[in-house]
Amino acid sequence: MTSQIDTSRADTVEHAKAYFDSGRFEAELTALVAHPSESQNPAQTARLSSYLQDALVPRLTQTGFACQIYDNPQGGPFLIARRVEDEALPTILHYGHGDVVHGQSSAWQKGLSPFTLTRVGDHLYGRGTADNKGQHLINIAALEAVLAARGKLGFNVTWLFEMSEETGSPGLAEFCTTHRDELKADALIASDGPRLQPEMPTIFLGARGAMNFTLKVNLRDGAHHSGNWGGLLADPAMILAHTLCCITDVRGQITVPEWRPTSLTDDVSNAIRDLPVASETGPEIDGQWGEETLTPAERAFGWNSFAILAMSSGVPHAPVNAISGNAHATCQLRFVVGTDPDDVLPALRRHLDRHGFEQVQIIPDNNTTSRATRQSRDNPWVQLAEKSILETTGQTPHVLPNLAGSLPNECFTDTLGLPTIWIPHSYRGCCQHAPNEHMLAPLARQGLEIMAGLFWDIGVLGGP
């Protein structure tokens, strides 16, 4: 690059920082957070369309985007916004979701409210600050910083927003298939999820899949006195407990053969083995839990994990002296590439039957299933992003082949055939999905710098 281009790049990054330092970012995030766009709350259904129509469309239109909102028979609506500078230029697809989980207002700390942005020190509290309103606001503002600096981007942009991500993105895969032409692009660059460490930029290239299901033991109607019938009636809670113990050993190591992945190859292991997963803001890692031969990073990013999300038998809040007639547990498998999602539950059925638990029902939750994705670090778009972040921050980012959590990334990798680059602007201690959700101000400011620099570089270089 010439010195003139270098100076303009620096000016663009400074413009993005000035946007934050002036208070505009905080004011605009306040307006977005004020929309109670809870996709899990049927009473707020109308707010889902309002967020797109009132909060996003006017701003994107002013920035030169042609916007179209689409109904979604399965959930909240979609928005496609396109800015085409030249059909010959590369096109970047951005993604964001404007829906949030339940506000849980009664559980927030005193003085905090989910739909009122409140700053306490470097913490910007409010539902959606981290997931995902604050993150897509950063990327929109970074695009605007490039436009302010040189009047054009130097590439085409398509935004895809959905309003049902927090309920499992129903309809997104079908929408991407139907609107494949409008969503055609060279790469996806988006922001969601957390950094590994708040002070270090992160890139992740895919996500673990997730599948929820219920295990149920239903032996009889009603409960029966434990004195009169104890030792005579099979206890469904005990059967369920032994069933769960059959799925993992005492330290949580998975024992279902088909659930043990073979995709943790040497190259993947070398990429993730020593990545930091401990956090000062999170709970202490249990060193004696999980796959014994793997490092904590390999367990989180290269392996499958089984969790019991909830379980119940009898009346937990008011126990009585009775043997219940049924018991159930809501379970989840997080899985990496190499695990066949179509065989997850059939494999569990075979495993339970082999161990004598034929009476245990397996009930799938099809609304929570997402597929695993993973991408090589050698992709030229990934290398461009790494170099750009290093130039902006002086830091070499952590690069993950996939996130430990789950995203609807398969819609972009499998349906649209895109390389996917996720650059998160949050951190793992953000209380995402919990009371007191927040975004860190210094991280948001650096996110604006990173994205402004990256967008500048794509426009100058014309892609990798």
Q: Which DSSP string corresponds to 206-230?
A: -B-EEEEEEEEEE-SSS-EEHHHHT
Residue-by-residue DSSP string for 48-90: HHHIIIIIIHHHHHHTT-EEEEE--TTSS-EEEEEE-S-TTS-
pLDDT for position 1: 42
What average pLDDT score do residues 32-48 get? 96
Three-state DSSP at 104 gives coil
Total length of the chain: 464
Are 335 and 444 part of one and the same domain? Answer: no
What average pLDDT score do residues 336-359 get? 97
pLDDT for position 275: 92
* pLDDT tens figures, 244-289: 999 999 999 999 999 999 999 999 999 999 999 887 777 889 989 9
Contact 240, 313 (CB under 8 A): yes
Q: Which amino acid appears at position 193 of this protein? A: G
pLDDT for position 283: 84
Three-state DSSP at 203 gives strand
Between strands 361-370 and 305-313, the pairing is unpaired
Are 241 and 200 part of one and the same domain? Answer: no
CA separation for the pair 396, 399 (Å, rounded): 9
Percent of residues in the chain assigned helix, strand, coil, to nearest 5: 35, 25, 40
Whether this prediction's pTM lies above 0.75 is answered by yes
pLDDT for position 7: 62
Q: For residue 213, what is the domain's CATH number?
A: 3.30.70.360
* pLDDT tens figures, 73-99: 999 999 999 999 999 999 999 999 999
Is the pLDDT at 114 greater than 70? The verdict is yes
**Domain that includes residue 70, residue range:** 3-207+373-461
Are 169 and 103 part of one and the same domain? Answer: yes
Of the three residues 331, 349, 370, the one that is the final residue of a domain is 370
Integer CA distances (angstroms), 461 to 1, 144, 157, 191, 449, in order: 9, 18, 15, 22, 18
Contact 161, 396 (CB under 8 A): no
Please count the structural domains in the chain.
2
Residue-by-residue DSSP string for 134-168: HHHHHHHHHHHHHHHHHS--SSEEEEEEES-GGGT
* pLDDT tens figures, 356-401: 999 999 999 977 788 999 988 999 999 999 999 999 999 999 999 9
Is the pLDDT at 4 greater than 70? The verdict is no
Would residue 276 count as lying in a domain?
Answer: no
Going by pLDDT thresholds of 50, 70 and 90, the confidence category of residue 6 is low
Are 224 and 357 part of one and the same domain? Answer: yes
Are 122 and 172 part of one and the same domain? Answer: yes
Between strands 78-83 and 66-70, the pairing is antiparallel
Q: For residue 125, what is the domain's CATH number?
A: 3.40.630.10
Question: Considering the chain, what is the average pLDDT of its residues?
Answer: 95
Would residue 156 count as lying in a domain?
Answer: yes
* pLDDT tens figures, 193-250: 999 999 999 999 999 999 999 999 999 999 999 999 999 999 999 999 999 999 999 9
pLDDT for position 34: 98
Are 53 and 185 part of one and the same domain? Answer: yes
Would residue 158 count as lying in a domain?
Answer: yes
CA separation for the pair 166, 212 (Å, rounded): 14
The residues, any chain, with a CB within 8 Å of residue 96's CB and separated by 6 or more, are 132, 135, 136, 139, 159, 160, 161, 190, 191, 192
pLDDT for position 5: 54
CA separation for the pair 45, 50 (Å, rounded): 9
Is the pLDDT at 334 greater than 90? The verdict is yes
Are 71 and 146 part of one and the same domain? Answer: yes
Name the nearest CA neighbour of 67 among 55, 56, 80. Answer: 80
Of the three residues 370, 389, 411, the one that is the final residue of a domain is 370
Would residue 281 count as lying in a domain?
Answer: no
Task: Give the single-character DSSP code of 128.
Answer: T
> Which is higher by pLDDT, 406 or 330?
330
Going by pLDDT thresholds of 50, 70 and 90, the confidence category of residue 3 is very low
Q: What is the Cβ-side half-sphere exposure of residue 350, based on CA atoms within 13 angstroms? A: 10
What average pLDDT score do residues 297-324 get? 96
Are 361 and 457 part of one and the same domain? Answer: no
Going by pLDDT thresholds of 50, 70 and 90, the confidence category of residue 2 is very low
Question: The dihedral of CA 428, 410, 63, 397: what is its sign?
Answer: positive
